[in-house]
């Protein structure tokens, strides 16, 4: 059975029962015998596939980046947070001094 809608879409139905339900705008996922219902409510036993567990590599190899060597990277990783904070504060101070000099020169 074929049905044509106003927007020129065509639908092919197996029987009058399905055509009637389509006309009533019933959702297939709410009708127990449809494939949509079985899929939504996980009733389809044939397609159940168990996912493989991924292995977590605990010993990931350490590699150097393009600009930084491995020694530099390990040194940075082992650096204490307070040392890193002090270096950051020093860098900020230098930037502020540079900006102050620029402002002073413009006036």
d(CA 81, CA 88): 10
Token digits of residue 9: 């879409």
Q: With beta carbons less than 8 A apart as the criterion, state whether 13 and 21 touch.
A: no
What was the pLDDT predicted at 29? 95
pLDDT per residue as tens digits for the range 7-54 = 999 999 999 999 999 999 999 999 999 999 998 998 877 666 778 888
For the entire predicted model, the pTM comes to 0.40
pLDDT per residue as tens digits for the range 42-94 = 887 766 677 888 888 888 777 888 888 888 888 888 889 899 899 999 999 99
């Amino acid at each position: 059975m074929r049905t044509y809608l106003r927007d020129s879409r065509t639908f092919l139905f197996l029987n009058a029962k399905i055509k009637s339900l389509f006309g009533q705008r019933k959702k297939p996922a709410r009708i127990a015998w449809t494939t949509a219902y079985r899929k939504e409510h996980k009733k389809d036993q044939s397609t159940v596939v168990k996912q493989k567990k991924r292995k977590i590599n605990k010993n990931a190899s350490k590699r150097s980046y393009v600009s930084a060597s491995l020694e530099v990277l390990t040194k940075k990783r082992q650096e204490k947070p307070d040392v890193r904070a002090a270096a950051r504060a020093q860098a900020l101070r230098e930037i502020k001094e540079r900006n102050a000099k620029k402002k002073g020169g413009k006036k």
